Structure 1
Amino acid sequence: MSLKYTVGDLTIHRVIEQEAPFFPALEFIPGLTPEVLAENRAWMREAKALDDQDTLILCFQSYVVKTPHHTILIDSCIGNDKPRPQRPKWHMKTDDTYLRGLNAAGVSVDDIDFVMCTHLHVDHVGWNTRLENGRWVPTFPKARYVFARQEFDYWTAQNAKAEVPPFADSVLPVVEAGRHELVGNDHQIGDHIRILPTPGHTPGHVAFTIGRGKDDAVFSGDLIHSPLQTHYPELSMKFDVDQAQAAKTRRSFLERYCDTDTLCCTAHFPSPSVGKIRRKGSGFVCASV
């Protein structure tokens, strides 16, 4: 299983925190019918995307991207010591899997220049902070944390109504430490890193496109959770804030990268998680490279 990819002048490392059965397919994707699931069961199981109980297998991971100028962490996974009672596998976790994965990619927490979050859900911000002497502090002390302004504003408003734990323990401490940047959709870092708005899963969800002058790689975040959604872009998942918008954005994204050389780095596809988008019938497939 490959954890390292090279494209253009980029090196991309996957840092896996967990990969396991996560949610019954028919519950996770409300528009999925038993008939469509049955039609796709064989290849999904072969791809390790579905287990014998028809539960979707998801990977929870970050990507470390090295450009000629910067080392960037995209999405910071689940985190340790975080109270997540709704998710027993995430609740008050204390393992060293993630930090060992970072080390295996040849980076320490001090080496990260930018932490970039596609959105601010629990499993994409967890390692933004770590517990030190009873306080949440930025895990990556030298990094600038880049948050899309629209996404940040949305969760600020939600948190004002009732505390959103991942926002409170994994985003606000970064803000209090003065390590964050709120950016618009036209934001770029150097000549390599651009933002691609991909709303639907959350109002301010973004993808990141990386490469000098062209999209050598794109990081899709929660625009797509399962390979099944590449075949059927209209199938949105239950946690999408706007399921119709998510479906429209997903098809547009897949059309944009279909039959190009852009490496699509997904957040949650089972390993190898990375591939190139190819057309298949009225849908698409993410073909492993």
Structure 2
Amino acid sequence: MNTDHVVRTFIDYFRERGHQRITGSTLLPPPGDPVLFTTSGMHPLTPYLEGRPHPLGNRLVNVQRCLRTTDLDEVGDPTHLTVFQMLGTWSLGDYEGPQSLRWGYELLTEGLGVDPRMMYATVFGGDDRTGPDTASLEVWEELGVPVELTVEDNWWSNGPTGPCGPDSEIFLWTGGVGRTGTGTGIESESYITGQAQTGGVSRTTVDGVPLPSNTPSQDNRWVEMWNHVTMRYRRLDDGSLVPLPQRNVDTGLGLERLVATLQGKSSVFESDVF
């Protein structure tokens, strides 16, 4: 499965579900923009996420070329790049997070052939301002995907002020099978143990070989692929949260990471993208 096929499959899947494809923005934002580079697909859409009607409707999909410098210390490892492509979808006041997660699971497993036993999800566990993201947790329980609850890693924001909200991230196992992980003592809460069932098949083994039992925060061989943000709030200068005029869903899927995983490569640099 090459890169072009992955992109076509992604775009076609969401077009069939009412999304309009929008053109990706340039890497250099227009004059007056507070950022130096386009860092994600959502950045050019900020006015529409804050309530302005989009001319193409309230379900959007695109491929966005991005440039980030926040991970410079990690660039060059098997999963990090400075310039990369992000597959994105948006619901502007239309469907909510649970629907997005179900579609994401269906596309990965049925459309792209990902073994669901190689999936893990993380979900916002709640803090002193907002409660846990029970809606996302219930979806993953229903689908039989193991979940790790975190706080900081599953709260998305676009800086100190502006749109924000809980997110749920989909991780894929990239380290192969054959040895159960031992964990590292990192504090987290894992729901749905390795004994969970997916389609009547135990998640503990693949062809009789044990799968890892440790979680994404404990083992970096679980690689983040797809972030689903439920954008509910705006953070004000004083740190308080107020509801947005509309509840949005913003998702971003790393193309190079996904392609490398689907092609069985140990590094993004070994995929056909390069």
TM-score by length of 2: 0.29
Q: Which has the higher contact order (CA 8 A, sep 6+)?
A: 2
TM-score by length of 1: 0.28
